[in-house]
Each structure stands twice: as C-alpha cells, then as structure tokens.
Amino acid sequence: MKPLACTLLDRWPARSVAAESVLRLAMVVLAAGLLASQWGVRAEAAALRISVYATADDVLRHLAPTDQRDATLAKLRPLGVSRVFLEGRRGDEYVPPRVLAEVRDWLAGQGIASAGGIATVPGNTFGTRQNEGLGWLNWEDPRTRRDVAGFFSENADVFDEVIVDDFFCTGDTSPASDAARAGRPWSQYRRDLLVSLIEPMIVQPARARRPDIRLIIKFPQWYDRFHLFGYDPERMAPPFDRVWVGTEARNPLTRRMGYVQPTEGYMNFRWLHSVCGEKTVGAWFDHIECTAENFVDQAFQSVLAGASELTLFRLGDIVGDHPGDALLARRLPDLFDLAQKVKGQTRRGIAFYKPPNSDADDNLYLADYLGMIGLPILPTADWPANAAAVFLGAQAAADPEVVGKLRGVLDRGGTVVVTPAFLRRVGERVQLLAGVAVGPEPQAGEVATLGIGAAVHSLAHPLDVDLALEGRSARVRISGRAAGGTCPVLTERRESRGRFIVLNARTFSEADFRAANEWLLSPKPLGWSQLPAAVANEVRTRLTAPLRLRLAAPGGVGVYRFTAGTAMHNFRDQTVEVRAGRERLAIPPHDVRWVPAR
C-alpha cells in the first residue's frame, strides 16, 4: 500500500519551491507519525531518524555566521533533520567551544538536537602526521595523544554526546612505531596500540568533565582491511556507548573512491552488528562522487541493514544543493516505511563467516559481490551454528576449528560453499571432501564464456577466477573458458547428508591493491556484479537450495530476506523484470520492492 504521505503529494496541485519544501517536511513528520500510530509505537521510538554531520569548516561557514543560519535551516527542513553533529576539530580546522555552544543553543531553538564530533587527522597545529601515504596520525607521538585528549576535555563541556569520525587508525612505520611494536606484526601492534589509547585519551578526559557523556565510535566502510590499520571492533566497541557504521559505497563506476559495490555498506553494517551488538545504531554515508541515485541507494541499504539513524555527511554538500538530497527528501516516506517493516525482524539467508581480524587473501570484499548476484548474504563474525547454508571465503580459515564446524553443517544436511582461497588455506583433506584440487599458489585469470549444461553464455564483463582449481569427483555445474582451456566455475558434490559447493570466485589480493596504488577500497571493476540472468539464476539456485528461495533476476539486484517478507533492491540504471515465487515484478532503476511472506 502506498504511504498516505505519498498519496497526499500525488494529489497536491502545482506548487512553488517554497511550498514544496514545507510539504516535504510535513510528509516526513506525517510518515513518522503514521508509523507510530499504525504499529502502536511511541513517536520517540520511531524506526528511523535523520541527522547531518557538519565538519568544522561547515560549522564556521554555514552555522556560526548568524546571517547564514536561516538559509542553512531551509536546506535541512526538507530532509526532516532532527540532529546535527557539530565537529570541533579536523586537523587545522577548529571551532572554539564558545562558538559550538552558541550554535548548539540556536539549533535547539529550532527543535534540532546537537552532538559533537572530531576527525582525528593531522594538521600543522594538531597532532603529528604519520610517515606513510594516507593523511593519518602517528599515535606514538605524545603531541598526538595530548591534542586528542585535549579535544575531549574541551568538548565534553559542550555536548552530552560526541562521535569519533573514522580516522582512528594508522599506517605509520616510523622508527618510533617500529621500536614500539617490539617484533609484533604491524597489524597486531596497531590494534594493540589504538585499543590501549581509548581509555586514557578519549574516555577518561571526556568523563572527567561530564561523567554521563555518551561516546560514539564510527567505523569506516573498508571492513576487510580494518585489522591492517588498527581497527579492532571486538575490543574497541566496549568502551563506547554506541557504534556508527560507514555505509558510504558512493559510485561503483568511479576510480577515485574505489570501485565499491552498492552492497558494501549493508555487509559492513551487518558484520559490525554481529561484533558490536545492539549498540550498532547509526549509518553514515556521503555525497562524494554520487549521482542522486547512488546517494539514495546508500540510504536504502543502510535501512535494510538495520540502521535506526542515517547520518548524512556533510552539511556543506547539502547547502551546495547536491541532487541526492532532493531525491532523498522525496523518498523519505518510503525509507520510513521500509524501516518499520524491517525493525525487529529476523534475517534469513546464507551466513558469510568472517572472524574478526581475519585475512582475506584474494577474497577481499567478496561478500559485496555475492550480494550483487542476488544472494541473501548474512555476514557474521561468529560461527553460524544453526545456519542451513554457510559461505566460507579465505577469511573463515582464520578459525582453527572451521573444518570440524563445516563437517557439522554437512552432517545435518546443510550446504557449505567455499572458494579456492579457503581450500588452499585449510589443506588437502577438505579439498577431497569438496571433490576438487587447488594448487599451492593461486593462478589469477579471467573467463569470458560460461557453460551451463549444453548452453553457452558469453559475458560482457569477464569473471576473475583462480585457474589453479581442478575438478575431481565433484560435478561441474558451471564451467568457464579461459585462454588456456576450461576451468570449473561452480562445482557440487554430495557429502554426508549435505552438499559441498565450490564457487571459483576471485576478487582482489594485496598485490592487486599495490598494483593500483590503493590502500583501502576495491581497486578495479569486476564482472561478478554484472552476471546475466541465466548465470545469476543458476548460481543462486545452487547456493540457496536449502533456503527455498525461488527467484529469477539478473545480477545487480540485491535480495534481503526477513521473517515478514523479502526486499529486492535494483542497483541498475534500467528497470529489471524479476520473478519472486509466483509473482512477477518490474523494479524501476535504483528502487526497492517489498514482497510480503506467504
């Protein structure tokens, strides 16, 4: 059923821009009110709220000057913003506490709450820059620690809640850091260092000034590389009151911010939720390189992931009339409706097991691409003991007991899906179970033609695979044609009471990142997200057999299953025809459809 707010908009006569802004705000308020009344929840417990992050420069440009405030407020109203994070420090950009307090009080007078924020990046007057390429801090330097602690002492007097933006990391390899790591791997040293600084540098200075202050840590979107640069959510989350998650996927077709898939924000949020629990509340995404549709895709993915607050970065882009904000304002009733549908729902799908601090080998960000095939992927940091279907990439091999655990899934009749990289890590006995063999070293290659039975499918975008995979006793369900011959792309073997599947999916390795001079994000486009319908359907049918998912759709359509229904998100620029069970749906570009459970 169409939300009443949308129905009212459809019937509203031609109107001015000013009238439209007022109507948009009314729609948001009405949508939240309708949700509260229809489902019997208190207004303050609504499933979704909208906030905006203002960088220190944004505060100084758009909120501190009194002659700019009304114009800024007019940009916030159509988005239904109920809170603004007021950043006090970003390197050399600095807002004095007196100014922050003045802006806080003015916003309160407009019915908008405030919180504080910091981006822990270096400047000439703040901290010490690391010696490697990215603009991060050297946390061994006493100046860095002193300056960050000083910020929290200062801002605790102004705000009852403060967020730490996603620069609490480091790649420093200076002599001081090298001496301090004392022979530990860089990854372990960085995690130990940053975890050890949270209490003395953040928590204690803040709570010495305001004992009841709430502290938020925001994790970035590059979840498969957290551990390399010091992020350790399992140990970092406990001292904080809440967790925010970077869901900024941006534009998957551009190089500057990486060829990140639209599903990455969802995967990141769900994985972090499995680590940090119910304190995982907010999703944060930005306008960088986004089309209007990319920007709103991030919002829908965040809501599907379970976020109850969407934080838009940043105020300057909103004031600058990024086209994504106007589209987001129009889609707010749909987002509120979707948030209420998924709130409290149990998710169903294929468990993707990624233990904390696990290396991905050449399966970096694999979960994102599986989601783009239309597989209902559920990332988890804990072993999914009761899952009917489990996906094990190289990350899962970090669990020393994983072989016994996967046998348990097979013994109870479940489906286990693995990659060549996982098999290489766990050894020959598991390769025998799977009915395949992999060489001691991966052989990166591409296949541009696939065979499924007697049918041959030419691919517009080749698939990255491991040419070292060989079929033995397993049945080859999908084969690929490479320059040197054929190789298995999907194999299947009955084992015990279950099914053992090998999906020959390769994404990125550390060498791929270095070759592209990339540190954090997907370094090149991959064909796995653009499978034709016949191939995507075959992969989906094999992997989701125990879930009884009946779906026909091309790649580029995300699928999210809940107890109450299934959401499908079309990331393509064209309308797609989808068959879900007995229903046939036409999903417009960059839109979401909900199919209630029967």
pLDDT digits (tens, 9 = 90+) for 502-525: 999 999 999 999 999 999 999 999
Quote the pLDDT of residue 482.
87
How does residue 40 score in pLDDT terms, banded at 50, 70 and 90? very low
How does residue 484 score in pLDDT terms, banded at 50, 70 and 90? confident
> 3-class SS at 476?
strand
- Per-chain mean pLDDT for the chain: 93
Strand 161-164 and strand 415-418: the pairing is unpaired
* Range of lowest pLDDT (30-34, 319-323, 552-556): 30-34
Q: How far apart are CA 262 and CA 248, in angstroms?
A: 9
Contacts of 201 (CB under 8 A, 6+ apart): 145, 148, 149, 152
Contacts of 385 (CB under 8 A, 6+ apart): none
Q: How far apart are CA 573 and CA 330, in angstroms?
A: 19
Q: What is the mean pLDDT of residues 350-357?
A: 98
Among residues 439, 440, 508, the alpha carbon closest in space to that of 469 is found at 439
Among residues 247, 214, 303, the alpha carbon closest in space to that of 594 is found at 303
Confirm if 530 and 460 have CB atoms less than 8 A apart: yes
Q: φ and ψ at 308, to 5 degrees?
A: -105, -5
- In 504-563, DSSP assigns E strands to 551-552, 557-562
Q: What is the mean pLDDT of residues 280-301?
A: 98
* Range of lowest pLDDT (11-20, 339-348, 371-380, 502-511): 11-20
The percentage of the chain sitting over the pLDDT mark of 90, rounded to a whole number, equals 90
- How many helices and strands, by DSSP H and E, does the chain display? 20, 27
Q: What is the mean pLDDT of residues 287-303?
A: 98
Q: What is the mean pLDDT of residues 229-243?
A: 98
Model confidence over 102-145: pLDDT tens digits? 999 999 999 999 999 999 999 999 999 999 989 999 999 999 99
Fold observed for domain 347-553: Rossmann fold (3.40.50)
Encoding tokens for residue 360?
């991905």
How does residue 45 score in pLDDT terms, banded at 50, 70 and 90? low
pLDDT at 25 over 70: no
| Cβ neighbours, 10 Å, residue 361 | 23
How does residue 203 score in pLDDT terms, banded at 50, 70 and 90? very high
Question: Which class would CATH give 4-342?
Answer: alpha beta
pTM of the model: 0.93
Q: Domain boundaries in the chain?
A: 4-342, 347-553
| Buried/exposed 564-578: b ≥16 CB within 10 Å, e otherwise | ebbbbbbbbeeebeb
Model confidence over 403-445: pLDDT tens digits? 999 999 999 999 999 999 999 999 999 999 999 999 999 999 9
